[in-house]
Structure formats: structure tokens, C-alpha cells
Amino acid sequence: MPLHIHTPLIESTPLSLAAGRAVWLKLEALQPPGSFKIRGMGAACAHYAQQGAQRFVSSSGGNAGLAVAYAGRHLGIAVTVVVPASTSERAKELLLQQGAELIVHGASWQEANALAQSMLQASDAFLHPFDNPLLWAGHASMIDEVAATGNKPDAVLLAVGGGGLLAGVMEGLARNGWDDVPVLAAETEGAASLHAAMQAGARVELPSITSIATSLGARQVCERAFELSQGGKVRSVRVSDRDAVAACNRFLDDHRLLVEPACGAALAVAYANAPALDDARKVLIIVCGGATASIENLRQWTARLA
């Protein structure tokens, strides 16, 4: 049995009115650990468990590590997660709640990742938060579910951090014969590593992450995400932290569902009826979720950015 659930696909009246077109939501925020990450992580962890792994080791700003911890608990395998110092207290609490060993190291994910890899022993499996074909194949299952309804969108709108969701969605589109559907890749200013790569025509590393959307805090996208961005089907869209947080507040009112600013980046594009949507009559938004934000976090971000 998969560790993820089949999530609802709903039409959003508030977002459709705001965007002036039909907007459908794939509600990945309803996954048991709070985000889409469990699709790929669940598949990868099950694969490594079958190969005899005795411990799962991951590096994560929150959601990926939480998915590994959830999978490890259900599979009966120990989990160690290394997170950067920027990780929220809420994320740390949730990781410990799932029974993971938690190590805090470094200012950003890159430093946490380096330590996690240095800890690996022969019986361990390393779970990269976004750069692993097993993850992409698992994430693609959300598009399988949409395709099974026959509800083909004119565009898919999603948030991009390291690029794992982008790679998974595009794999799902391809394997369902929807290669012609463009993907709108939303990032917050200060965490826009895909946008920087697309502008440069090569993967580049941001000097730092300055956005509050720490779940998007990979200073460089994975090679697969960059390759996909060069095929003409990916359009980059940037939003401000302020707009991402405003979208989170608005979405909470509209759908009674709390999501992180990382997810708010994609929602903000629709709420603003951004020009990137002009060619689409029906838009599918991946509501990627994020369990590491609380109501209090959202209030603090809103006050800070007001």
C-alpha cells in the first residue's frame, strides 16, 4: 500500500473569480504529513526498505524530512534528519513528533545536506529532498490521479524550490500524454533559483536565500529541473514574499486550509491573475501544502510585511 493518499481535485470558485478563468486545485496539503512530499518520499523509502536499509538519512528545511520521518515510522525504520538553522520551531516539533532523530546544522540547506551525507553508513539510505528519480516518479502520481478524471488543464501552476515537484509533475504530464500542457513555475523573490538558471542558461547558485519561504530555500535547482526548463514548456513567474503571504491568508479564508508561503507563491499568481495565465482557460494549481507553518507564523509574517 502506498504511504500517500489520493487527494481531492476541486474547482475553486474564489480563485476562478479572481483569475477570471477556471481554477482547479489538487489538494496535496491534505496528505498525512502535510505536503506532496510523501508521494515521492514514500515510494523511495519503500524501495530502500526492500533493499534492506536499516536507517533513512535526509536533509531538509522541513517538509521533505517530515515525509521521510512519517515513512520511516510506518515502515519501522529509524530516521535521522539534518535541518538548517533557518528551520522553524514548528518543523522541528513535527519531526520529533514522528520519532525522527533531529540534527540542526548550518545556515542553509546546503550545509545541512553536506553533514547528512557525511554521516552515511553502509546500511543507511540517503533521501535527497528533491534530486532523485524515485521521488519524481512518486510525485508524478498526482498527475495520474488528475488524468484519471479526464480533466485536462491548459496549464499547471506550481511552486519551485529545488525542482523535485516540477520534475515529478512534468513526468506525470508526459506519461499521461499531456506533454503539450505548459507548467508555470512560481518562486518568491529571494529564493528564485530556477528563474536565475533560466535567465543564465545554466544552473547557477544563489549567494543566499532571503525569502521567508524557506521551503523554497534551495540555492540551486537540480539538474533535471533545469533540463526540463529548457524545453519551452516551463514559464518562470516570481512573486514577492508579501504577495505569497497575502495569498496564504486569502486561501485560508476561501478554503479553510493553512499553507506555507512556498505554496502561497503559486496561489499568488492566480489571485493576481498574472499575465502568465493569459493563454489558459483552465488552470490546475498544485496546492503543495506545508505542515511547518502555524497560524501564529502567518500572523507574524503578515505583520512584518505589512
* pLDDT at residue 64, as a whole number: 94
* pLDDT at residue 99, as a whole number: 96
pTM for the whole structure: 0.96
Per-residue pLDDT tens digits of the chain, which is 306 residues long: 899 999 999 999 999 999 999 999 999 999 999 999 999 999 999 999 999 999 999 998 789 999 999 999 999 999 999 998 878 888 899 999 999 999 999 987 888 999 999 999 999 999 999 999 999 999 999 999 999 999 999 999 999 999 999 999 999 999 999 999 999 999 999 999 999 999 999 999 999 888 988 777 788 999 999 999 999 999 999 999 999 999 999 999 999 999 999 999 999 999 999 999 999 999 999 999 988 889 999 999 999 998
Q: What class has domain 37-130? A: alpha beta
Question: What contacts 3, CB < 8 A, 6 or more positions away?
Answer: 32, 38, 41, 42, 45, 46, 70, 71, 74
Helix/strand/coil for 305: helix
Would you say the CATH fold of 37-130 matches that of 9-36+134-305?
yes
* pLDDT at residue 293, as a whole number: 87
* pLDDT at residue 17, as a whole number: 98
* pLDDT at residue 56, as a whole number: 98
Q: CA 260, 263, 266, 268: dihedral to nearest 10 degrees?
A: -20
Beta strands in 128-247 (DSSP E): 155-159, 183-188, 234-239
CATH topology of domain 9-36+134-305: Rossmann fold (3.40.50)
> Other CB atoms closer than 10 Å to residue 31's CB: what's the count?
24
Report residue 6: phi and psi, to 5°: -75, 110
For the chain, what are the domain ranges? 9-36+134-305, 37-130
